[in-house]
Structure 1
Amino acid sequence: MTTTESASADVLDDLDWWTRPVAERDRLFARLRAENPRPHVPERDLTGRPRGAGFWALTRLDDIREVSKRPDDFCSGEGINIFDQPPRLKQYRGSFIDMDNPEHARQRRIVSRGFTAKALEALRDDITRTSHEIIGSVADRGECDFVTDIAALLPLRIVNNMMGIPRSQERYIFDQTNIIMAASDPEYVADQTPRGIARAVNAAGEGLAGLLAELARDRVDNPRDDLITALVAARDDDNLTPDELAAFFILLVGAGNETTRNAIAHGLLALTRFPAQRALWQSDPGTHTARAVEELVRWSSPVLHMRRTVTRDGVRLGDQEFAKGDKVVLWYRSANQDEQYFTDPTAFDITREPNPHVTFGSPGPHHCLGANLARLELSVAFRTLFELLPDIHATGEPDLLRSNFLHGIKHLRAEFTPRAVA
């Protein structure tokens, strides 16, 4: 395996390299920001062989902000992943985040009904109750797999509650979204050939789409006080179709859950590796939680990149000119460590201010609609951890996801003093 000290930017599309220690990728990004901030990188297929014309890797915060504000020059509709997905696969991995206007604006406007300040505040009690339920369920054990027992389950259950999905479907949804979002990891899809991955993702997507279509039809006939009803059965307004609802649901429980789930998992690592910051946060959660959450999502960077595609010849970014069809990849992980904006960027510092991270995307039409839901979930989750499992800590190294799209942790052992929780 290539080491960072000798690696070029070519490893950015080498999935095996992304299972190496996190410090290696951070050193590479630091060198690129300093010496070659927009390298051209060969694109690789699942077997590691070159394919296509490659992509431009953007590593500095200023470039990523600029591209994000110019959707007419750098579009999302050609795909948000480095590789070009077949239309059938794209149907289950995108929703409106890989659309351009006017359809992007239409679907975003409909979906925003569930993410108003009033709607999110109404969720606070359920998020608190769910956090106590899940964290309390392991409290008497003294140890757990922090990812599968807490970090992954908590945001999934919250979203299912929002949508009005029966608890009986929780495990099925957990397994299928793992396949869709983590298809490049053999733990979730054993057959890592292109045909094997496509077959697995299609089957998972069709299963979830069928479930959501059934629920959508029910809500049209029998409206309830849940998000599915708000999106498909609002009276005197435009609504999502059942297919659009299915794609949005996969986005929400897939990409949305992955962001929160991985931020929670990395958060336990941060608490373990930076004990002084942990002590400060725990000493006064009311004062420190808001800034701690911003630092947590910067430090963890749960989504590593998003792609944009150049819409015409002659588009410029600074002194560089692009051609129509060029792929540019926005490396959020690198931008969140840009030395021009972040002092000691690999450190976890809950007093960091300002903190202009791009974890939820840079300001622009594709800024994450669920950002405030993620902030609320993280705030409640860590305050609940401090309350119920105040000495919880990670033991050993995280088992990293084989992906250059999600900064995922598959498993993380944790220990704590056992206690009974009602």
Structure 2
Amino acid sequence: MKVVVLGAGVIGVTSAWELAKAGHEVVVIDRQPAPALETSFANAGEVSPGYSAPWAAPGIPAKALKWMFMKHAPLIVQPRPDLAKLGWLAQMLGNCTSAAYKVNKGRMVRLAEYSRDCLIALRAETGIDYDQRMQGTLQVFRSQKQVDAAAKDIAVLQADGVPFEVLDRAGCLAAEPGLAGAAERIAGGLRLPGDETGDCFKFTGALAALAEAQGVSFRYGVEITRLTVSGGRIASVETSAGTVTADAFVVALGPHAPRLLAPLGIRLPVYPVKGYSITLPIIDADRAPVSTVMDETYKVAITRLGDRIRVGGLAEIAGFDLSLPPARRATLEKSVGEMFTGAGDAAQATFWCGLRPMTPDGTPVVGRTELANLYLNTGHGTLGWTMAAGSARVLADTVSGRSAEIDASDLALARYARSARAQGAAARPVAVAG
């Protein structure tokens, strides 16, 4: 059947690839002149299933208050009034419990591990090249308190069978020799040897070219204005280039998806969370990272991408603002400068920001909606690159009427309705006979 995919970021392009492999006629529509020019353009570069964890976690509200007074805070909440932001934050706070964290992290790791396997298969099938490295990732702790706090994540890794190594300072330096200049700052680390790295922008562009060669039609520079409904189904998508009809429609528009869906009465709890990156040319390869190092203090990822270092992270809740404050760049430069002194030329770095589509429980929304032929693949937050290949496979299986290879029952939008019903039932008083 004919399937229209709305969005040509890494999620939309991988969805198109998997749908085409499943035998569908696929059309991709995007307002940009080429693929991966928004959130997928300059992300941190890590494919890290083991670090797949929701931001909503026990202790986060207290940490957020402390971060408000830090010069180099990993989280910034702009005070501008925004009802959507307030509602999303309230839902996120509701997930900051031990029970919710365990459920949310478990399903995120399940999808991310599957996605890494799908990426390996895709790479073997196509020979695609994107500055990839398969040398694991290392989370670096600067204090014993951070080392101790990793216990809850380690418990989930153990439960899910994810390989890991708990390292002392010497172990961290053995895994990443470029950290030698930062040895006194390091209390320990958590290494995930199965993780990968790579340039998401290069990957998405290369896969789009492969998909096009397989018959996928890409319509760039086309604004998407609205979806029309008839008889409980999507009849068409209205665009700046005219009306497009299809048998099925996939919304992969990242943080812009809620605006398109709201007129249909579909409430998608996805909010833009701004992230930043700098990309530095390497000037001393011996001091540069081997793979990805996560600086736990600043929540910053430092990744080797060919002859470049990508430094990405931070979270700013500021709506659709795309400004580039020098203070955010300073935080990224501080992290890489302290961890890998002299490895890259910060003066030649490019500075970028993107809007991550975040759900309040951390898990993306992949699957069906209440409209028979409308599907979603969005809400991946900081993990779009990590979860792209697996989410696309789940989406293609769902559209094709096949059972997914993993349990995908808790990935669709319906989980929020189930959660609301459960909370409502818990809140209702119980009548007691007397």
Q: TM-score, normalised by structure 2?
A: 0.25
The answer to which structure has the higher strand fraction is 2
Question: How does the TM-score come out when normalised to structure 1?
Answer: 0.26
